[in-house]
Chains A and B, each alone.
Chain A
Amino acid sequence: MAGEKILIVDDDKDQLIGLNVRLRANKYNVVVAHDAVMAVSVARKENPDLIILDIGLPAGDGFVVMERLRNLISLSHIPIIILTAREPTDNKERALSEGAYAFFQKPVDNHELLTAINNALSGVSA
């Protein structure tokens, strides 16, 4: 199970480091991006197995990133977990309907997030 590559997209550096530590401790390889443009370019270069994506980002937002990835055939299959401080009321339904595997509001319980990552990587439907 371990060793899969996860791309974290978040513009908050502290959270990026925190999540990086957590995921590495769970034996995942981590690559990071901190804006919408970089998210797509890192995804193309690294071809991650899963993407953890914030919504509020510089140079676009999480929805823009999702749309761009969907339009790239080689990347359109990558499961995306939305992790945002924004309200689920305004964003959850939209994120899921636009193809996100799961939606979590920050701060998310570690166990919940890791379970979702594991499920997404094992191809368990959300």
Chain B
Amino acid sequence: MSQSADLAHTILLLDDEPNVLSALRRALRKEPYALLCAHSADEAFDLLYTREVDVVVSDQDMPGMTGTEFLAKVYQEFPHITRFILTGKATLEVALQAINAGAISQFFTKPCNAEALALSIRTALDQKDLAVALERARQRELEIKDRFLSHISHELRSPLTAIYQFVTILLDGLSGELNPEQREHLNIVLRNINQLRSMVSDLLDCARTDTGKLTVHPQWLSLTPVITDILNTLQPSAAERDIALCTHLPRELPAVFVDPMRIRQVLTNLIDNGIKFTPAQGTITLGTRELDDAADFLCLTVTDTGDGIAPEDTERIFERLSQTTETIDVHRQGLGLGLYICRELISRHQGRIWVESQPGHGSTFCFTLPRLVID
């Protein structure tokens, strides 16, 4: 039934009466569209599943299924398709029902005015084209932003590398012995270099969540050595703030399907946050939890004895630039992108992340990772 052509837009016409269909085709003959015709809802769905359709024009009174019902289904399955209805009896009631159920764009009474229908279709398609153009422009802008940030990150990393190299050369005594005061000062420099380094990474990761370039490359991995390594790395900064790092883990952790670099990033970020926001003599505990509703996932927990998070903030902290007003005043540190990136990374592993907290009693950050299940 279709007039196939390589035209930009495709219109699907549905009516059980062949003469109405012919009239519609004649009405739209001069327009640059590919026209598809269907005599029943089933036939229309066959076409919708196989062809890219932009606009559907459906009759209201058909055997089997009304136009309203048909368009409501179209709306459910193909929400991007613009929907018009044609009816012989355009009562207000029918109109309202059609608009509510099928989110119809416009209503036409039979016999329909060919010019009005053509104009409405043209307007709807123009709107669509505009939306597509806007989306393309947005993508282009994101690409440019991404390239720009990649460039900046590269440029920032070069001097940072030289600074790191020479500070560690000095600290390791490779250019002479240091007195304790010099050592202490250089350790402060090193700590700040590491902060700067993670900020550069976070900034770029954050930009990449927009362009869909924040990717993960999962593989089966045993977490135990990763955890040991992270704890060893973070031990000095915890000790410096008089905070104990503990683990409460089962003897054997199941293998998980994760990107090793990214999971290290998430865990480091969560523990590092704990260290930042926990007062001296506090404890940060890395543990696991059994989840009844997610047997295919390993749930890891990072619990601190800090000030906790107010209930209204437990969702918000995972959003971009979200350090709450109070923490900005008290201990503003970092960019506030860490948890947002953690959430993005965990969701790319099909896991989820959340926080449980009682203000004054610390917080527990929980996240799930796909695990190996042995029956």
Contact = CB atoms under 8 A, between A and B. Distances in A.
Contact of A107 (B154, B157, B174): B157
Which bucket holds chain A's interface residue count? 20 to 34
Interface in A69-90: 85-90
A124 interface: no
Contact of B208 (A12, A56, A89, A110): A89
Contact of B168 (A14, A86, A89, A110): A110
B169 interface: yes
B158 A15 contact: yes
A22 interface: yes
Contacts of A87: 150, 153-154, 204
A19 interface: yes
Given A18-B169, A21-B169, A105 B157 contact: yes
Nearest to A19: B165
A106 interface: yes
Contact of A15 (B165, B174, B175, B214): B165
B172 interface: yes
B213 A107 contact: no
B166 interface: yes
A120 to B, nearest CB: 19
A94 B126 CA distance: 42
Interface string A4-27: 000000001011001101100100
B165 A22 contact: yes
A112 B217 CA distance: 21
A25 B174 contact: yes
A19 B165 CA distance: 7
A120 B242 CA distance: 38
A22 B169 contact: yes
A12 B295 CA distance: 51
B261 interface: yes
A22 B165 CA distance: 8
Given A21-B174, A85-B157, A89-B208, A107 B215 contact: no
Interface string B163-183: 011101100101100000000
A110 B165 CA distance: 8
Contacts of A85: 153-155, 157-158, 161
Given A22-B174, A86-B154, A89-B213, A107 B160 contact: yes
A88 B261 contact: yes
A14 B157 CA distance: 13
B158 A106 contact: yes
Contacts of A107: 157, 160-161, 164-165, 193, 197
Interface in B189-235: 193, 197, 204, 208, 213-215, 217
- Nearest 10 A/B pairs, CB to CB: A18-B165, A85-B157, A14-B162, A107-B161, A107-B164, A106-B161, A85-B154, A25-B174, A106-B157, A85-B158
Interface of A: 12, 14-15, 18-19, 21-22, 25, 56, 85-90, 93, 105-107, 110
22 contacts: A12-B162, A15-B158, A15-B165, A18-B166, A18-B169, A21-B165, A21-B169, A21-B174, A21-B175, A22-B169, A25-B172, A25-B174, A56-B154, A85-B153, A85-B154, A87-B150, A88-B261, A105-B157, A106-B157, A107-B164, A107-B165, A110-B172
